[in-house]
Amino acid sequence: MAADSSAPSSPADATPPDSSVPSPELQRLWFALERRAWSYLTIVPAQPGGPALEAATAILEAGAPYAYSQKIHLQDATGITPGDATRLVVQLRERIAQGERVVVVLDSLLTHPASLPLALASDGVLLCVGLGDTEFSAARKTMEYVGAERFVGSVIFPKAKKKKAKAAQDKKKKP
């Protein structure tokens, strides 16, 4: 299963979304994830600097209207140390035992292997790919570290705009 957050492909999907209703793409992503029962989902970027936090935020936005009374907790586990990873897994399992669902944002496993225990303890992993930014070999290596069978899909984000390039462009416009 692959979930895609790219722009709508048909005019029927191009209607402007109500600000309180997630976009059709995000709703489809939510339901694609729901096909696989999960209480603990990790989001891992295919390579360093990938938009994992953006993906997690999008999932929470999409799931809010459908989660009913169940609370979904977002855990930013970027920068976690090896010792803290095990403790965090225990804390997350306690939340799940209390009826919550958790979405955990990880660092790239290529540069931060301390995140791996969190991915391995989860019900599923969503691979986050930056279109035009992610090398195929990085995505493949990330999948090897976790195990391809643990992945519930992938989400693709448009190429990240370079902040420095924009700042330089804005500076040129000023007299």
Which CATH superfamily includes the segment(s) 11-173?
P-loop containing nucleotide triphosphate hydrolases (3.40.50.300)
Confidence of residue 162 (pLDDT cuts 50, 70, 90): low
pTM over 0.85: no
Containing 105, the helix (H) or strand (E) segment is: strand 101-105
- Per-residue pLDDT tens over the stretch 112-130: 999 999 999 999 999 998 7
Rounded (5°) CA angle 37-40-43: 105
Block residue for tokens 């999409």: 62
